[in-house]
């Protein structure tokens, strides 16, 4: 008589809910009449994300002590649950933003892949084993490769999909090779087991760690592993970009922190330096390159690289406080990022062309709501007060200062100064067009009423501003979650 293995269904429930939603949406692409596909797909994906969020909340509540699952391949803890919560809410907002995307075909597939990618991410953040990590990574990456290329009639979309596939595939291969080296050095795949093996400064182990870090840096788009980011963010359908910029970063950063702290505590002297260097390069390169951008999606792509730099500062602190500040940072960052891309999507639908800075001229006066929204998101990304972006930076800086990295604070401050130039420039275009600028702006008719997108943007504003005033409750969640890692 073989015992059936006990499965902790609650721990798997967010991923399962999203998989179910994905399945329903996919079936709708086949079995449902064409005119209903969008509705069925969107509703099922939205329901999937909401249910996943609820389960993640319950999971957070009931996982006070971390617990390994399924032969120690996964872990059930508050860190994973909080990341799942952020991911699921992001996904739900993205469904709103995607609703009136002018796409003739592939509605069912789009929402199915969105939910499947979400499922991969919520699975990924619970990984406790290098194989689960790789599985989760490939799971959501494959979905994203297709999502990026889903607008098959647009060459840029296909191009972006191919680029992402090749570069992403390379990143995954590096990560897998690194995992193999770590396995060779320690004979273990589980995070805790790798730490327990105490392989010391084994050259294989260090090389493996470096390669795993590089592979994850591809996913968080940290420079110098960011090459794909501007092209893919620009070419992908804007709603997909919104999802990627927020959700991929959240998932990859949480897992990076978990992996480094759980599996490589003895090597922390090595990886804190490595991560700090990555942070500096990302901050410098992201901000400098963003200065030169005209295309708003590209600009936001470089801005996301610089945000990766800020979050890496939190990672390099390598302390509980660092983890806390990273988790806090992810909340307003996800909201601002989704919101900013949503406004770009709205403008794109209205004008039917790629949105450059010139195409934003006068947006603030013609479309007051989107104007104010973009204003808030830009201020938030620049770290102005009255947005959560401010506390995000503050917490990251104080974590770094607390960990003794005062020089990283100065680098971060200098990067913020640089970043002002382009964030303020966006505001200048939306509110202060000169006569000559307006001539460049195409005259649009009455824009389509996009209540769903407007609602998504409103939600993003609420989180962006709300996370400033309610910083403590979010920080409480973050510190509980951070406490589930072994510091």
Partner 1 sequence: MLATWLILLPVLGALVVLLLPLPRLLTAGLSFLVALVEVGLWIVAAGRFDFDDGSLQLGTTEEWVESLGISYTVGFYGFSLWLTGAAVVVSAAAIGYALWIGRDRPRAYHALMLFLTGAIVATFAAQDLLLFYVSFEAMLIPLYVLVGVWGGARRVAATLTFVVYTMVGSLLMLAAVVAFGVTQDTFSLVDSGTSDNEWIFLGFVAAFAVKAPIFPLHGWLPLTYRESPVEVTAVLSGIVSKTAVYGFIVIVLAKFPDPVEDFTGLLLVLGATGLVYGSLLAFRAPDLRGIVAYSSLAQMGLITIGLFAFNDLGLNGAVLQSVAHALVSTSMFLLVGMVERRTGTSDLAALGGMARGRPATATVLLVAGMIALAVPGSATFAGEFLIMAGAYEEGWGYAAVVALGIVLAAMYVLRLISAVLHVRPGPAVRDEALDLRLGELALVLPLLACLLVLSAWPALISESSFVADFLTGSP
- SS3 state of residue 486: coil
* Residue labelled with tokens 């990026």: 148
Under DSSP, the state recorded for 356 is B
Least separation, in Å, of the C-beta of 285 and partner 1?
20
* Residue 264 contacts partner 1 per CB under 8 A: no
Least separation, in Å, of the C-beta of 417 and partner 1?
5
Q: What angle do CA 140, 146, 151 make, to 5 degrees?
A: 140
Name 306's Cβ contacts closer than 8 Å, sequence gap at least 6.
Answer: 282, 283, 286, 287, 290, 415, 419
Q: Residue 233 or residue 397: which is nearer to partner 1 going by CB? A: 397
Least separation, in Å, of the C-beta of 8 and partner 1?
31
What DSSP string describes 286-312?
HHHHHHT--BHHHHHHHHHHHHHHHHH
Which tokens go with 412? 């971060």
CA-CA distance, 18 to 47, in Å (whole number)?
Answer: 9
Q: What angle do CA 388, 391, 394 make, to 5 degrees?
A: 150
Contact mark string toward partner 1, 426..455, x via CB under 8 A: -xx--xx-x---------------------
Query: Given candidates 288, 424, 441, 465, which one binds partner 1 under the rule CB under 8 A?
Result: 424
Q: Residue 448 or residue 473: which is nearer to partner 1 going by CB? A: 473
Least separation, in Å, of the C-beta of 471 and partner 1?
5
Least separation, in Å, of the C-beta of 402 and partner 1?
6
* Residue 408 contacts partner 1 per CB under 8 A: no
- What Å distances lie between residue 180 and 19, 169, 176, 254, 342, CA to CA? 29, 16, 6, 22, 40
Q: Residue 189 or residue 430: which is nearer to partner 1 going by CB? A: 430
Contact mark string toward partner 1, 46..75, x via CB under 8 A: ------------------------------
Q: How many residues bind to partner 1 according to rule CB under 8 A?
A: 33
Least separation, in Å, of the C-beta of 364 and partner 1?
9
Least separation, in Å, of the C-beta of 298 and partner 1?
21
Least separation, in Å, of the C-beta of 302 and partner 1?
19
CA-CA distance, 470 to 42, in Å (whole number)?
Answer: 31
Name 242's Cβ contacts closer than 8 Å, sequence gap at least 6.
Answer: 94, 97, 337, 338, 341, 342, 345
Site for partner 1 in 156-185 (CB under 8 A): none
Name 33's Cβ contacts closer than 8 Å, sequence gap at least 6.
Answer: none
Query: Given candidates 64, 196, 417, 439, which one binds partner 1 under the rule CB under 8 A?
Result: 417
* Residue 100 contacts partner 1 per CB under 8 A: no
* Residue labelled with tokens 């950063």: 253
Q: What angle do CA 202, 203, 207 make, to 5 degrees?
A: 120
CA-CA distance, 236 to 464, in Å (whole number)?
Answer: 25
Least separation, in Å, of the C-beta of 348 and partner 1?
25
35 burial type by CB count under 10 A (0-12 exposed, 13-18 middle, 19+ buried): exposed
Contact mark string toward partner 1, 363..402, x via CB under 8 A: --x-------------x----xxx---xx-xxx-xx--xx
> Rg of the chain's alpha carbons, rounded to an integer?
21
* Residue 155 contacts partner 1 per CB under 8 A: no
* Residue 420 contacts partner 1 per CB under 8 A: yes
Site for partner 1 in 310-369 (CB under 8 A): 365
Applying CB under 8 A, the span of 21-29, 51-59, 160-168, 413-421 interacting with partner 1 comes to 413-421
Binding site for partner 1 (CB under 8 A): 365, 379, 384-386, 390-391, 393-395, 397-398, 401-402, 406, 409-410, 413, 416-417, 420-421, 424, 427-428, 431-432, 434, 471-472, 475-476, 479
């Amino acid at each position: 008589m073989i015992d059936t293995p006990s499965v902790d269904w609650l721990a798997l429930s967010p991923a399962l809910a999203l998989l179910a939603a994905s399945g329903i949406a996919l079936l709708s692409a086949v079995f449902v009449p064409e005119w209903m596909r969008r509705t069925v797909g969107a509703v099922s994906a939205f329901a999937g994300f909401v249910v996943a969020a609820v389960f993640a909340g319950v999971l957070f509540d009931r996982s006070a002590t971390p617990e390994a699952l399924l032969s120690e391949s996964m872990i059930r803890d508050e860190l994973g649950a909080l990341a799942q919560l952020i991911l699921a809410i992001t996904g739900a907002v993205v469904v709103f933003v995607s609703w009136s995307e002018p796409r003739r075909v592939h509605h069912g597939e789009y929402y199915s892949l969105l939910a499947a990618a979400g499922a991969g991410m919520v699975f990924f953040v619970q990984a406790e084993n290098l194989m689960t990590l790789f599985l989760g990574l490939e799971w959501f990456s494959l979905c994203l490769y297709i999502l990026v290329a889903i607008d098959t009639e647009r060459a840029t979309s296909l191009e972006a999909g191919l680029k992402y596939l090749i570069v992403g595939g390379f990143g995954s291969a590096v990560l897998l090779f690194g995992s193999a080296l770590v396995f060779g050095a320690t004979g273990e795949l589980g995070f805790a087991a790798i730490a327990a093996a105490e392989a010391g400064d084994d050259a294989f182990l260090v090389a493996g760690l470096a390669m795993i870090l590089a592979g994850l840096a591809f996913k968080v788009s940290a420079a110098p592993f960011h090459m794909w980011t501007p092209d893919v963010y620009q070419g992908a359908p804007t709603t997909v970009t919104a999802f990627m910029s927020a959700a991929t970063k959240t998932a990859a950063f949480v897992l990076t922190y978990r992996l480094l702290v759980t599996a490589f505590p003895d090597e922390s002297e090595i990886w804190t330096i490595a991560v700090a260097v990555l942070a500096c390069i990302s901050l410098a390169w992201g901000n400098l390159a963003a200065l030169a951008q005209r295309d708003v999606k590209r600009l936001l792509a470089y801005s996301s690289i610089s945000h990766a730099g800020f979050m890496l500062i939190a990672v390099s602190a390598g302390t509980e406080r660092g983890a806390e500040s990273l988790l806090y940072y992810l909340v307003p960052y996800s909201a601002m990022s989704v919101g900013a891309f949503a406004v770009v999507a709205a403008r794109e639908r209205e004008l039917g062309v790629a949105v450059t800075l010139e195409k934003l001229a006068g947006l603030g006066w013609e479309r007051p709501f989107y104007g104010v929204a973009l204003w808030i998101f830009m201020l938030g990304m620049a770290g102005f007060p009255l947005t959560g972006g401010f506390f995000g930076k503050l917490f990251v800086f104080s974590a770094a200062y607390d960990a003794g990295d005062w020089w990283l604070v100065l680098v971060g401050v200098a990067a913020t100064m640089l970043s002002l130039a382009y964030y303020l420039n966006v505001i200048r275009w939306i509110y202060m067009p000169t006569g000559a600028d307006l001539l460049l702006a195409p005259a649009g008719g009455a824009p389509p009423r996009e209540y769903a997108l407007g609602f998504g943007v409103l939600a993003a504003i609420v989180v962006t501003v709300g996370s400033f005033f309610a910083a403590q409750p979010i920080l409480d969640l973050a510190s509980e979650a951070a406490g589930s890692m072994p510091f």
